[in-house]
Amino acid sequence: MIAVCNHDSYFVQKKDAFGVMGLILEQTITAALRMLAYGASADQVDEIARMGTSPILESLMRFCGAIKSIYTTEYLRRHTEMDLQRLLKKGEMRDFLGMIGSINLPCLRSAKEKDFASCQEGCRKDVERCFGILQARWAIVKGAARMFDLESLRSIMMTCTILHNMIVEDEYNYDAVDEYEPDTMNNSRTQIYCAHDATEEPVQHEPLEKDERYNEKLIQRYTVLQRPYMHNAWQIDLIEH
């Protein structure tokens, strides 16, 4: 927030012509983030931020402009050599060797495989990578475009992308080893402690037992989907189809 204030004095609290203090930084930033994250309209945000419709919309566009100007170079850059090595290492841990920027296997030999790869990339690549992920985090991308002009929409889209990259960098540990618990539904050893009885000791209930009629089959299917050779076999079947 300090960087945003230093970039645009609009976010710095000032006095109006009557000497009354204006909007504080937390109000303007909260209004902008709520519109981005929840896809809310200015009318829906005004009761929380205690701001009028016009200041809310101005806060949104100025916030997007500040984020775009400050962080575009750092968070919308191309992959560095270090980034590529980190991604290749993560791919090798999942048995996908040499895969960068592709949703298909890199070794395309037959005409069928090349045709399938072209169709698949054309249908899925841009939409799934960009809007699919961003819509899950920033509802303003998922909703209607409303009355923003083209440049405003571009600024909003870039802001959502930059903030998403910042969150990924802050939360995701690329060096961590992916671990999969083969039986995540096994809660037979779960103990529940709730109210105290007359002895002021926690009341221990009987362990919960899982219903294995459906859970085991679901876990088996999920486990199979994680196996690279099954992915390859199903892809070949889909190509032939």
Question: Is 186 inside a domain boundary?
Answer: no
Q: How confident is the model at residue 203 (pLDDT cuts 50, 70, 90)?
A: low
Q: What is the largest CA-CA distance in the chain?
A: 76
**Residue 60 DSSP class:** H
Between residues 236 and 199, the one the model is more confident about? 236
153 and 226 share one domain: no
What pLDDT score was predicted for residue 42?
85
What pLDDT score was predicted for residue 214?
63
Q: How confident is the model at residue 189 (pLDDT cuts 50, 70, 90)?
A: very low
In this structure, of 8-12, 37-41, 81-85, the range with the lowest mean pLDDT score is 81-85
Question: Is 124 inside a domain boundary?
Answer: yes
149 and 217 share one domain: no
Question: Is 227 inside a domain boundary?
Answer: yes
Q: Which of residues 118, 137, 171 is at a domain's end?
A: 171
Percentage above 70 pLDDT, the chain? 71
Across the range 66-71, mean pLDDT stands at: 92
48 and 136 share one domain: yes
Question: Is 181 inside a domain boundary?
Answer: no
30 and 116 share one domain: yes
201 and 122 share one domain: no
124 and 167 share one domain: yes
Please tell me whether residue 164 adopts helix, strand or coil conformation. helix
What pLDDT score was predicted for residue 67?
93
For the chain, what is the radius of gyration of the CA atoms? 25
Please tell me whether residue 196 adopts helix, strand or coil conformation. strand
Please tell me whether residue 63 adopts helix, strand or coil conformation. helix
132 and 219 share one domain: no
**37 Cβ partners below 8 Å, 6+ apart?**
137, 138, 139, 140
Most confident of the ranges 17-21, 101-105, 204-208? 17-21
Mean pLDDT of the chain: 76
21 and 134 share one domain: yes
Q: What is the reported pTM?
A: 0.59
197 and 233 share one domain: yes
Question: Is 13 inside a domain boundary?
Answer: yes
Tokens of 10: 């609009």
pLDDT at residue 34 is higher than 70: yes
What pLDDT score was predicted for residue 65?
92
Query: Strands 202-204 and 193-196: what pairing?
Result: antiparallel
Minimal CA–CA distance to 134: which of 109, 157, 106, 107? 157
Across the range 103-117, mean pLDDT stands at: 70
Between residues 7 and 148, the one the model is more confident about? 7
Question: Is 205 inside a domain boundary?
Answer: yes
H or E element: which one contains 234? helix 228-240
Ramachandran sector of residue 160 (left: φ over 0; alpha: ψ -120 to 50; beta: rest): alpha
Question: Total domain count for the chain?
Answer: 2
Most confident of the ranges 127-131, 213-217, 225-229, 231-235? 231-235
Across the range 122-143, mean pLDDT stands at: 74
Question: Is 222 inside a domain boundary?
Answer: yes
Domain range for 135: 2-76+110-171
**182 Cβ partners below 8 Å, 6+ apart?**
219, 223
What pLDDT score was predicted for residue 159?
92
Q: How confident is the model at residue 207 (pLDDT cuts 50, 70, 90)?
A: low
What pLDDT score was predicted for residue 12?
87
**153 Cβ partners below 8 Å, 6+ apart?**
145
